[in-house]
Amino acid sequence: MAETYPLVLDHLSFRYRSRDELALKDVSLTVRAGELLLIAGASGCGKTTLARCLNGLIPRSYKGELTGTLRIQGREVSALRLAQISQSVGTVLQDPERQILGTRVRAEVAFGLENLALPRAEIATRVDEALERLKIPHLRDRETFTLSGGEKQKVALAGVLAMRPAILLLDEPLASLDPASAQEALIMVRALADEGMTVLMVEHRVEDVIGIRPDRVLFMQAGEIRYLGPLAGLRQAVDYHEVKLPAGMVMEMARGSPPPADLQRLPSGHAANAPALVRFEDVSFGYETDAPVLHGVNLSIGRGEVIAVLGPNGAGKTTLVKHAIGLLKPRSGRVLVQGRDTRDLSVAQIAGVLGYVFQSPSHMLFAASVREELAFGPTNLHHPPPVVAAEVAAAIEIVNLTGCEDSPPLAMSFGQQKRVSIAAILAMSAKILVLDEPTAGQDYRNYTRFMDAIVQLPGFEAILFITHDVDLALIYATRVLLVNHGTLVADGSPLEVLGDVERLRAQRLIPTSLLQANLERFPQTGRFLRAEALAHYPPS
């Protein structure tokens, strides 16, 4: 009987109040206890809307027209209060900033348990168990605002696991995690399913999830289920340009197609005698006096460079970059932007040189429409109105948001919000573009499209991006910085840094199938290529 299943959707459709088109179209789905279901699809395809229906946020927080039925553990969701739903469905959001309320980690993990009025001793036990399971007991007494994005994601997951829900709903849980942490999280998720928990994982990093053998895959397009079945059938159901698949699978699928056109990037490197755009001179910093985060960092950013900053969660990557844009000032040493000390410059002055896209779009977005959001920066930099209009139009085209100009950014999916935040900085025409986790929450087609466009834009003198995605660094960077424990572990060409597989593993970066395929073929190619190009180079 259907009522015995933890989750049953029957002809579920939903239309947001502010939109004309359906976000979900006639979705029917039954999920059994102990099943691990991967939900994949392009940004804006309906994955997050589906998740909001499952955890009760639709129609309680997100208003619109909902039809069909949804039952959780045999009970019709429309008859349940949100608090009742949350005891059965534990949700981890894409953006941990939206989920963390406590000032300290232990208080955050205990929050849900306290609302259930559990005994103090049981709360303490569950908190410790959740932190141990995620291998973050060392964060127990940390203030949450000092955590990295990946650490916040782990804390949010710990708070949900401590509640021991019957159904675990993960909305892009790997987006902010370094590769080793992502692998650990996936192994834990597989174990939870094997122990009987029903797990639904919305995730763009399909290649990573494939490794833990999801029981079924649900592939969505335009609010509809286009494929629902075993992993083996996914290859026939999806386009490798849209969903990131293992390199070997992509090479087999692309072998019969013509080679893709070469990507024309910014010139690699800069002239040795050219002045640095940004220079770090023996920079050290700590949020607390007894807890240093950066230690004696020395580096220069030169004209024409595309620099990837890699490293594990909590390594100091974002702290490093925030010094370049003047949001943080060194405790010792100095940072120079175009030869001037950031201590002598306002953040607004630096913003005319360095445009920074935050890891969390909620830190940036505020306007009533995408058009207003993108016009705000260049208008405040006193660009003439016709120039502002042209900059906004060009940025919208680059990030593939044509048709969304009048949409409210905060009502969009996380992936779309991320593209709006990137477009807002593109529209400002800064000389140096700084991107913090630019591909978080993005499907493969969108992130390759906007990264291809960004690295070819003539207006930028340099591009720097923080990422956990080794493949992103492999394809787009001309230089790679490897950061850990607040120091520069390595600084060199992609081959010099990414070719040292053992050093990558030591820094919690897992060599990908694309990296391995490139290293095998490098004697023939002489450069790193994406999988569809490698398809035309048999291994030596």
Whole-number Å distance between alpha carbons of 508 and 517: 20
Whole-number Å distance between alpha carbons of 16 and 420: 20
The three state secondary structure string of 426-450 is HCCCCCEEEEECCCCCCCHHHHHHH
Confidence of residue 400 (pLDDT cuts 50, 70, 90): confident
| Paired tokens of 391 | 């900059």
Q: Which amino acid is at 56?
A: G
Secondary structure (3-state) at 55 = coil
Confidence of residue 308 (pLDDT cuts 50, 70, 90): very high
DSSP designation for 267: P
CA distances from 490 to 127, 178, 180, 291 (A): 37, 17, 18, 23
Query: Would you say residue 264 has pLDDT above 60?
Result: no
The pLDDT assigned to 79 comes to: 87
Q: Which amino acid is at 180?
A: A
CA atoms within 13 A on the CB side of 522: 14
- Tallying the residues shown for the chain, one arrives at 540
| Paired tokens of 355 | 């445009």
The pLDDT assigned to 362 comes to: 77
The pLDDT assigned to 449 comes to: 82
Average the pLDDT over 145-155 and give the result. 84
The pLDDT assigned to 3 comes to: 47
Instruction: Give burial (CB, 10 Å; 0-12/13-18/19+) of 204.
Output: buried
Do 2-238 and 260-353+431-535 have matching folds? yes
* Residues contacting 279, CB < 8 A, separation 6+: 299, 300, 301, 335, 336
Taking each helix axis from N to C terminus, what angle separates 385-398 and 444-456, rounded to the nearest 10 degrees?
A: 140
Average the pLDDT over 519-533 and give the result. 92
Query: Would you say residue 266 has pLDDT above 70?
Result: no
The pLDDT assigned to 71 comes to: 94
The pLDDT assigned to 540 comes to: 65
Domain segments of the chain as ranges: 2-238, 260-353+431-535, 360-429
* Residues contacting 436, CB < 8 A, separation 6+: 318, 321, 356, 357, 358, 359, 465, 466
The pLDDT assigned to 234 comes to: 83
DSSP designation for 494: H
Confidence of residue 95 (pLDDT cuts 50, 70, 90): confident
> Which CATH superfamily includes the segment(s) 260-353+431-535?
P-loop containing nucleotide triphosphate hydrolases (3.40.50.300)
Give the class (CATH, top level) of 2-238: alpha beta
The pLDDT assigned to 213 comes to: 92
Instruction: Indicate the pTM of the whole model.
Output: 0.79
Q: Are 26 and 13 contacting, i.e. CB atoms less than 8 angstroms apart? A: yes
Q: What is the strand order of the sheet 479-484 is part of?
A: 354-357, 432-436, 462-466, 306-310, 479-484, 487-492
Percent of residues in the chain assigned helix, strand, coil, to nearest 5: 40, 25, 35
Query: Would you say residue 174 has pLDDT above 90?
Result: no
Query: Would you say residue 290 has pLDDT above 90?
Result: no
Q: 């240093």: which residue's tokens?
A: 292
Confidence of residue 267 (pLDDT cuts 50, 70, 90): very low
CA distances from 206 to 37, 41, 256, 444, 521 (A): 12, 10, 23, 10, 24
Q: 């083996």: which residue's tokens?
A: 232
pLDDT digits (tens, 9 = 90+) for 209-221: 988 999 999 999 8
In whole numbers, what is the pLDDT of the chain averaged over residues? Answer: 88
Confidence of residue 257 (pLDDT cuts 50, 70, 90): confident
Average the pLDDT over 244-267 and give the result. 78
pLDDT digits (tens, 9 = 90+) for 421-444: 888 888 887 889 898 888 876 788
Lowest mean pLDDT of 18-32, 45-59, 257-271, 438-452, name the range.
257-271
Query: Would you say residue 395 has pLDDT above 80?
Result: yes
Closest alpha carbon to 465 in 487, 433, 507: 433
Confidence of residue 34 (pLDDT cuts 50, 70, 90): very high
Task: Give buried/exposed letters for 268-292 (b at 16+ CB in 10 A, else e).
Answer: eebeeeeebbbbbbebebeeeeeeb
pLDDT digits (tens, 9 = 90+) for 454-478: 887 776 889 999 998 899 999 999 9
Closest alpha carbon to 109 in 119, 117, 99: 99
Average the pLDDT over 114-129 and give the result. 92
